[in-house]
Structure 1
Amino acid sequence: MPLAVYLKWVRASALYDLLVTWPFALPWTFAWVYAQLHALDLAWGLPGAMPPLDPLHLLLANLLGSVVVVWSLARWTAPSLRLGRLDAAARLMFASWQVHAVLQGASAIVLGFTAFELAFGGVQLQRVRAENDA
């Protein structure tokens, strides 16, 4: 794909991450999001478990959310091939750990996030050609 198109995908993935993960960065918003995800998990009868939220879960979610927000802002404000490739690697790692968690008994609701990780990761691994290449 042309570099200009690739960079739009890098920015799109950054925007997705900002919209989805900013609530993870704050204790009170993550507690609300977790409650909503738990309600969906119960309503849909998904396999796996969502344990009660405890202070350690909250801390780890807040740390993840904080790092992802900063990483997203870097990709949004200065998208590049390098940042896209690094983001693809991170997304493949996230997807791997999410699948592992589900296989270990975590709620299958996690797989909704996994689908986006794999989709954006796959796009950002595509071959990029220079603008003047045909």
Structure 2
Amino acid sequence: MISAKNNLGIVKSSAIYDLVVTAGFMTPWTAAWVLTGFGTLSGALALERPVPVLDVSAMLFANLLGSVVVVWSLWRLAQPSRRVGLYDALARTLFATWQLYAVAHGASVLILGFTVFEVLFAVAQVWPICAVRQVHPRAGQAASGAG
């Protein structure tokens, strides 16, 4: 079973990963640079589905997403807890779902690299809580809010 300390380490690790991956989407200039890099990678790998150039409205949503995820990541670094990890796992499950949907409907398969990390971090943050609940059903309720 993963200890509370190890669980908090997973919450913090997922926050650091998110900072690294999403900080580039916070501004139109950095997002354009990141997307150009993805386009170059897609071309180098000879992928059939190229990375699209975003119009102003799509760029706005990329910047909003980048901003919100960075703030959420900073919160998880400053106030890590099992409860925050559970909320993060829920968000990651939603992200993975929409990433799979996007790829199934024509988005670049490069997205699946991110999907792998979404699923791994979601499972890593939920697994300890499930293990505690299986061993001690009432302890699982207390553990989900333990910090």
TM over 0.5: yes
1-side partners of 2:52 and 2:31: how far apart?
15
Contact 1:18 1:72 in 2 (8 A): yes
Contact 2:7 2:128 in 1 (8 A): no
2-side partners of 1:52 and 1:73: how far apart?
29
Deviations 1:97-128 (A, max 9, x none): 00100000001011111111011111011124
1:86 paired to 2:101: no
Q: Aligned residue for 2:65?
A: 64
Query: SS where residue 105 of structure 1 aligns?
Result: coil
Superposition TM-score, scaled by structure 2 size: 0.84
1:85 deviation in Å? 0.2
Contact 1:14 1:75 in 2 (8 A): yes
| Percentage of matched positions with identical amino acids | 48
2-side partners of 1:40 and 1:117: how far apart?
21
The count of corresponding residues between Structure 1 and Structure 2 is 130
Q: Aligned residue for 2:12?
A: 11
Contact 1:11 1:79 in 2 (8 A): yes
Q: Aligned residue for 2:103?
A: 102
Which of the two has greater helix per residue? 2
Runs of 4+ in 1 over 3 A off after TM superposition: none
Runs of 5+ unmatched residues, structure 1: none
Greater Rg over alpha carbons, structure: 2
Contact 1:48 1:102 in 2 (8 A): no
1:57 deviation in Å? 1.6
1:49 deviation in Å? 3.7
2-side partners of 1:52 and 1:77: how far apart?
35
Q: Aligned residue for 1:37?
A: 38
1:118 paired to 2:101: no
1:53 deviation in Å? 2.0
